[in-house]
A and B are shown apart, each in its own frame.
Chain A
Amino acid sequence: MRRFWIFTLMLVVVVTFAATKLVFWTAPNPLQEEFWKEVISEWNRLRPDIQIEVSVIPAAASSEEAILTAIAAGTAPDISENIFSGFAAQLAEIGAIYPLDNFKEDFWKLVETRKMRNIVEGWKVKGHYYVLPIYSNPMLFWWRGDLLKQLGYDRPPRTYSEIYELSSKFTKPNERYVMQVIAGRNWWDRWFDFITYYYAASGGKAYIDAEKRKAVFNNEYGLKVTEFIYKMFKENHTAVELGTNPFYFGTILGKITGPWEINWAKETFPEVMPHVWLAPPPVPDDYPADLPVYTFADTKGLVIYENCKDKKAAFEFISWVFSNVEHDVLWIEKTRMPPAREDLVTNPAFAKFMEDRFFKAYAEAVPYAVPPALIDKTIDVQLSMTTHLIEPLMHLKGEPKDILNNAVKEVNKILF
């Protein structure tokens, strides 16, 4: 009996110390954290030889800063999620992440199984695939259906002119405005205002030519969007500041947001949510009514870091998670965000979610949701867009055309 216990103890010690331990960082979002904890505990039970330790990306102004700080300090994890394409390009540029296509047929098998052959093409950096896209969040407009009905509308506004007209019936400067036009002052807010409006106006055309490293948004579409934003501020249809939660308190009728807000809003403002109407971003008046409206895709993925202790083991874990469609079902249940897969509307595994009108609207917009330009200077470019495009428009510093041309010039200085 004594021998048995000694043997068991030795076995435990050997398994404990021999097992590969990998650190995985999840996005600082409680719903995503819940998903990963559940999946990882299942994996850890199945694979005692590759143990995954899960923790949230440390608190910082943004995930990118936390990850960079960790890389600098030599405390980067083995795997992390919440990586947007531009940041992946930056990390690839400095050699901090590992190309997943180095796993050759195993990688391509995973891509085929998860039905994301076309999606991964949008993530190609210098001929390699560093990121496994997890989800793709199209940005949609939420409108206060209850208030619109009171004003005599049975559908949300579609074009810029319809917004001006609606505004004339609702806006009362300093009290309430028709919609939020500018998402905020952070660099990432440009995804949710100018870039979204640009994609909508242009039918999903690129705002930066990544190959030639050149900003191209000083065209007819860029000008229409710029004039729209300028007019919204000049004619007091919107304001620079709208206070906290203006949409839910009825200060504004419409705003843009992603599916991450659904569960939070259902809990926090249960009386407002049943009356919310979803619609694509507004388009210029001459945009054909029968064409689909494109929008921005807030899409994030997962990477393996160059300093990962066992890259093969890390990829084995990733393959296990994303090869099983049930994990994507669980992902939707937990987060309500559409997984980055091409069979979302056709795969019967996801059919039950289509009964949820919010999820359905977002899932249907996935084919028309375009990711950001794949450049390594995303943050700098969008900071420059904030300073040279959005802020002058908000504060009416110049004519829209001059502001647009100057912004493109400034962005090109960064890209050159």
Chain B
Amino acid sequence: MASLKSREKRFGFGILAAYLTHTAIFWGYPFVWMVMLAFSRWRFVGKPSFVGLANFLRIFQDSNFIRVALNTLNFLAYLIPMLLLSSLLFAIALSKMRYFKTFVVMSFLVANVSSGVAYSIMFANLFAVNGPVNRFVYSLFGFTIPWFNHPQLAIFSICLIVTWKFIGYYGMIIYAGLQAIPTSVFEAARMDGASNWKIFWTITLPLLNPSLITVTVFATTLTFGIFTEPYMITGGGPMMRTTTFLIYMYDTAFRRINPSYATVVAIVAAAMSFSLVMIIRRIFEREVAFV
């Protein structure tokens, strides 16, 4: 009996070992290194020297950091409504479809698994001044649209690309939420004489709260992690307006040769993202039960 127990124990540890080793290498080691970097000054060569809170104090005087934080809010202001609205419309359209549902879903999900570099180049050419979109606009109205050259338009254009990428994925989350609502609820409302509009606002939307909050939280964390599109298309410009936290971290670490400060930027950005998610959940999250 005892030998069976010890064999089970060994087996249990054996299974755990793979996970623990993976965590120690890919999570534990970078975490320890991150803490060391945050409180020291290191420039890729030599040993880190302890500087206390200097890196954290610097962030409050860094106008670039403030610019990037404002940019992130600007991105959020476009991206959250764009993603919520488009994926909600996608989910509703999908629930009304009778045929080719799988084909449509797969078509939208292709965007989600496409290479960021490849589609960024494609969009940059598509929206270029002599690209097909602008040629069409010019032939109709006699002017071109500076998609990536006007500060606000550049943010908007990148949000359009990100929305295109995630509409299928987030749409599926909302679609799952729609499917979870019992049809009896709608039937009861119709019998009481409620219009479609009324049903949507007072039944569908409130009951979709968990799915919508999930999408909002995902979109928020996504915004803090935008990198490929602005890096490839605008290089963080114009006027630094599309410089995101990831671009700033990357530039600070590898162009300014200051990985210590880049680490602190990463920590503060993560804290901001986490706080924002908590605030969103606190304000908008509702408990939903189908009785």
Contacts and interface: CB of A to CB of B under 8 A. Distances in A.
Interface of A: 61, 64-65, 68-69, 71-72, 90, 93-96, 174, 185-187, 239-244, 246, 251, 306, 377, 379-380, 383, 386-387, 391-392, 394-395, 397
11 contacts: A90-B257, A94-B44, A94-B45, A96-B44, A185-B235, A240-B129, A241-B129, A383-B251, A387-B239, A387-B240, A395-B238
A93 B129 CA distance: 42
Contact of A95 (B46, B148, B237): B46
B257 A94 contact: yes
B240 to A, nearest CB: 5
Given A69-B254, A174-B138, A395-B238, A241 B146 contact: yes
A68 B251 CA distance: 12
Nearest to A189: B235
B149 A240 contact: yes
Given A61-B231, A71-B44, A380-B256, 6 more contacts: A64-B254, A185-B236, A240-B146, A241-B149, A243-B131, A387-B237
Contact of A380 (B130, B150, B239, B255): B255
Contacts of A186: 235
Contacts of B257: 68, 90, 94
A244 B125 contact: yes
A242 B151 CA distance: 18
Given A65-B255, A94-B45, A95-B45, A185 B129 contact: no
Contacts, number: 79
Shortest Cβ-Cβ A-B pairs, 9 listed? A243-B130, A241-B129, A94-B43, A72-B44, A185-B235, A240-B149, A379-B255, A185-B237, A94-B45
Contact of A244 (B130, B231, B237, B254): B130
B284 interface: no
Interface string B128-151: 111100000010001110101111
A251 B255 CA distance: 34
Contacts of A90: 257
A243 B128 contact: yes
B45 A96 contact: yes
Contacts of B143: 174
Given A243-B129, A391-B237, A395-B238, A379 B256 contact: yes
A69 B149 CA distance: 30
B237 A386 contact: yes
Nearest to A305: B45
A186 B235 CA distance: 7
A240 B148 CA distance: 10
Interface string B38-52: 000001111000000
B260 interface: no
A126 B264 CA distance: 31
Contacts of B234: 185
A243 B143 CA distance: 15
B43 A251 contact: no
B259 interface: yes
A391 B238 contact: yes
B44 A68 contact: yes
B239 A392 contact: yes
Interface in B239-289: 239-240, 251, 254-257, 259
Nearest to A395: B238
A72 B45 CA distance: 7
A64 B255 contact: yes
Nearest to A239: B129
A180 to B, nearest CB: 12
A174 B259 contact: no
Most buried by A among B43, B131, B138: B43
B217 to A, nearest CB: 31
B134 to A, nearest CB: 9
Contacts of A187: 255
Contacts of B235: 185-186
Interface in B132-184: 138, 142-144, 146, 148-151
A186 B255 CA distance: 12
A380 B144 CA distance: 32
Contacts of A380: 255-256
A243 B231 CA distance: 19
B142 to A, nearest CB: 8
Contacts of B251: 383
A64 B130 CA distance: 32
Contacts of B43: 93-94
Contacts of A241: 128-129, 146, 148-149
Contacts of A240: 129, 146, 149
A241 B235 CA distance: 14
Contacts of B239: 387, 391-392, 395, 397
Contacts of A239: 129
Contacts of A69: 254
Contacts of A246: 130
A126 B93 CA distance: 67
Most buried by A among B44, B129, B231, B256: B44
B44 A242 contact: no
A131 B243 CA distance: 33
A28 to B, nearest CB: 16
A88 B236 CA distance: 25
Nearest to B147: A241
B265 to A, nearest CB: 15
Contacts of B125: 244
A65 B129 CA distance: 30
Contact of B130 (A94, A251, A306): A251
Contacts of A71: 44-45
Contacts of A68: 44, 254, 257
A367 to B, nearest CB: 32
A379 B128 CA distance: 27
Contacts of A379: 255-256
Contacts of A242: 129-130
Contacts of B45: 71, 94-96, 306
Contacts of B238: 185, 391, 394-395
A394 B154 CA distance: 15
A335 to B, nearest CB: 27
Contacts of A61: 231
A241 B237 CA distance: 13
Contacts of A174: 138, 142-144
Contacts of B130: 242-244, 246, 251
